[in-house]
Amino acid sequence: MTRYSNIPALFLTAAMALPAVAASGRNTITVEQVAAAINSAGMKVSADQVVLLADVMATDSAPKLKVESMERWGDHQMKFRLDCVKAGECLPFFVAVRWSQAESVPPLFADHSSTAIFQAKPDSNSYIVRAGSPAVLLLEGDHIHIQLPVVCLENGAIGQTIRVASTDRRQTYTAEVGDGAVLRGKL
């Protein structure tokens, strides 16, 4: 009998915790919101095709979402990386989009089926470095670290790989954009 005496206490604890979660300003992102974001990126998806891989929370009840990337994920699924347009509204997250086994390649992804990964083009406000701007390139090898002043040859957002040149324009390098005007390359 004693093992059942804790059940009412569990229900009471859960009931008291629900208003605390609602008051904290955290809202669950729904599959409908994800499907709308994917549809606005130009790929037709219904909400019943979307699978959230984890509970995703946002500070806004209706955050505007953007598709960061997508890639094939198994035979009948695509994996999407999404993020909130406004910084700080939510953390980036992944969802799976599945289609029927009767379709070998879904028509909604026909434009991207030849490439393994599709990267969304960053908007002009998300660029950290701009073409023509000075930056510092950190070249790293096994036991060597070199800092070079460079000039960016392309616009770049965090995580993108861009081309840069030495200040005298004699050498060109490829580098990954980091925070600020710091770029990383490998020897």
At 85-139, the pLDDT tens digits run 888 898 889 999 987 655 544 544 544 443 444 555 555 567 888 888 899 999 8
Phi, psi of 172 (to 5 degrees): -120, 150
Q: pLDDT band at residue 144, thresholds of 50, 70 and 90?
A: confident
**Structure token digits, residue 139:** 């070249």
Residue from 117, 36, 43, 39 nearest 73 by CA: 117
CA distance 94 to 91: 10
Residue 64 pLDDT: 92
Distance of CA 53 to the CA centre of its chain: 14
Q: Is 129 left (phi over 0), alpha (psi -120 to 50) or beta?
A: beta
Report residue 19 CA to chain centroid gap. 30
Residue 10: what pLDDT?
A: 45
pLDDT of residue 116: 40
Confidence category of residue 3, pLDDT binned at 50, 70, 90: low
Higher-confidence residue of 20 and 147: namely: 147
Separation of alpha carbons 11 and 45, rounded Å: 38
In the chain, where the domains are located: 11-120, 125-186
* CATH placement of domain 125-186: 2.30.30.760
Q: What percent of the chain has pLDDT over 90?
A: 20
Strand-pair category, 65-72 with 50-52: unpaired
Round to whole Å and give the CA distance between 38 and 148: 40
How sure is the predictor about 4, in pLDDT bands with cuts at 50, 70 and 90? low
Contact criterion met (CB below 8 Å) for 92 and 83: yes
Lowest-pLDDT choice from 18-27, 76-85, 150-159: 18-27
Range of weakest confidence among 101-105, 115-119, 167-171, 175-179: 115-119
Distance (Å, whole) CA 5 – CA 174: 65
How far apart are the C-alpha atoms of 97 and 39, rounded to whole Å? Answer: 12
